[in-house]
Amino acid sequence: MNQFYNRHFLKLSDFSKRDIFELLRISLKLKNDKKKNKEIKKLYNKNIILIFEKESTRTRCSFEIACYDQDAKITYLDKHNSHIGYKESIKDTARILSQIYDGIVFRGKSQKDIEILSQYSNIPVWNGLTKEFHPIQILADLLTIQEYLINKSLDKIILTYIGDINNNIANSLIEASLIIGFRLNLISPKKLWPNNNTLLNNLLNQDKIFITDNIDEGINNTDFIYTDVWLSMGESSKLWESRIHDLHIYQINKKLLLKTKNKNVKVMHCLPSLHLYNHYKKYFNNTIISKYNLFNGLEITDEVFESKNSIIFKQSENKLHVIKAIILLTLLKNKY
Ligand code: CP
Ligand code: NVA
């Protein structure tokens, strides 16, 4: 039996370092097989349900295509076309869906909800993003990073995350660093550091994690620099002004890349991103954009987003392959 069979995937720390390397190995094999038209379809008798309480482009499409590629059937539910969480509890939903389906993808408001879902489901539950974690994204990111490494292993890299360190991407990166053992620098204004003291002290005491509000201190010699939107799904749009005020100096731009002193530094973003003024201008009044001079991008400038340092679209490409690996390994008993 393979080590992943029938397991849930709610957060990265559900898996060991060995599990993650095995997942990455199989994801890469699946990626190559698909490119060479050699993929073997193994999920022809499986039915998968996708429950998305929040919007998605990449994650939803990658789950759907992973299923289609493997001949599994899917149903998609969002908060408008089901009873979940309103007329019907998550606990009841879990027991009903477990009788009909073979696996559940859940993107939702909170980690607590996916924990309840998994507790009452006797089929694998996979996290498609919660407010607290986004493990599938970080698996795709690790695969992407691995593809760019020459003579260096994943545990030897320096990755710097800059911006809102209170969100799902930062939390899952922290888990990745603790499991894999790579160096993670977190750069953010002190106001956005975890306000739970135990959590913060725990972070401050980690050998491989360095947290600072000082860009120069955190960025030197980094191999990868990662950012995310300054306001995540589910957060009140009223927070935009204070986030922009707190985070505008932490934008990834050309000047910031120079500070890394690494001309080959790779730039990462989970997407979606607010880098193109003509796209995001409709969300903000011009006063705030002018006040902070954010005509060239918010968390990242368009120039850097489109530069040769950016590996952003590789990250989104790899989502399909890691998702396929997780579905296959948790649904099928045999070793892959
Ligand atoms: N990065 C990511 O999860 O994208 P979507 O919200 O489009 O799924
Ligand atoms: N932190 C972002 C990630 C989107 C993929 C959000 O939760 O909106």
* Residue 66 shares a structural domain with residue 213: no
Q: Is residue 7 a part of any domain in this protein?
A: no
> Is residue 143 in a domain?
no
Total length of the chain: 336
Pocket of ligand 2 (CB under 6 A): 129, 134, 167-169, 228-229, 232-233, 270
* Total count of domains within the chain: 2
The tens digit of pLDDT for each residue in 131-158 reads 999 999 999 999 999 999 999 999 999 9
If asked whether residues 54 and 122 sit together in one domain, one would say: yes
Same-domain check for residues 76 and 109: yes
For residue 258, which of 292, 221, 305 has the smallest C-alpha distance? 221
One domain, residues 120 and 168: no
**Does the pLDDT at position 86 exceed 90?**
no
Q: Is the dihedral of CA 57, 63, 64, 65 positive or negative?
A: positive
Distance from the CA of 32 to the center of ligand 1, in angstroms? 23
Average pLDDT of the chain, as a whole number = 96
Ligand 2 centroid to residue 54 C-alpha, Å: 10
103 and 34 in a common domain:
yes
Q: What is the pLDDT of residue 67?
A: 98
For residue 80, what are the CA distances in angstroms to 30, 184, 200, 308? 34, 39, 37, 41
84 within some domain:
yes
Is residue 106 located within the same domain as residue 158? no
Q: For the residues 83-107, what does the mean pLDDT come to? A: 95
Q: How confident is the model at residue 249 (pLDDT cuts 50, 70, 90)?
A: very high
Average pLDDT over residues 234-247: 96
- Ligand closest to the CA atom of residue 268: 1
Q: Where are the alpha helices (DSSP H) in 36-73?
A: 58-69
Check whether residue 79 and residue 99 sit in a common domain: yes
According to DSSP, the residues that pair with 52 across neighbouring strands are 78, 107
pLDDT band of residue 23 (cuts 50, 70, 90) is: very high
Q: Would you say residue 85 has pLDDT above 90?
A: no
CATH number at residue 129: 3.40.50.1370
Helix (H, G, I), strand (E, B) or coil at 18: helix
Considering only CA atoms, which residue is closest to atom 3 of ligand 1?
59
Tokens linked to 11 = 């957060």
Decide if 202 is inside a domain.
Answer: yes
The residue to mutate among 53, 54, 56, having the most atoms of ligand 1 within 8 angstroms of its beta carbon, is 56
Q: How many angstroms is it from 284 CA to the middle of ligand 1?
A: 22
Q: Which domain holds residue 56?
A: 12-134+319-331
Q: Provide the 8-state DSSP code for 300.
A: B
Whether the bond into 189 is cis, omega within 30 of 0: no
163, 130: one domain: no
Residues 191 and 299 in one domain: yes
Residue 68's pLDDT band (cuts 50, 70, 90): very high
Residues 31 and 108 in one domain: yes
Going by CA atoms, what residue is nearest to atom 7 of ligand 2?
A: 232
Task: Among the bound ligands, name the one nearest to the CA of residue 227.
Answer: 2
In angstroms, rounded to a whole number, what is the distance separating the alpha carbons of residues 58 and 61? 5
> Picking from 80-84, 172-176, 223-227, 246-250, which range would have the lowest pLDDT averaged per residue?
80-84
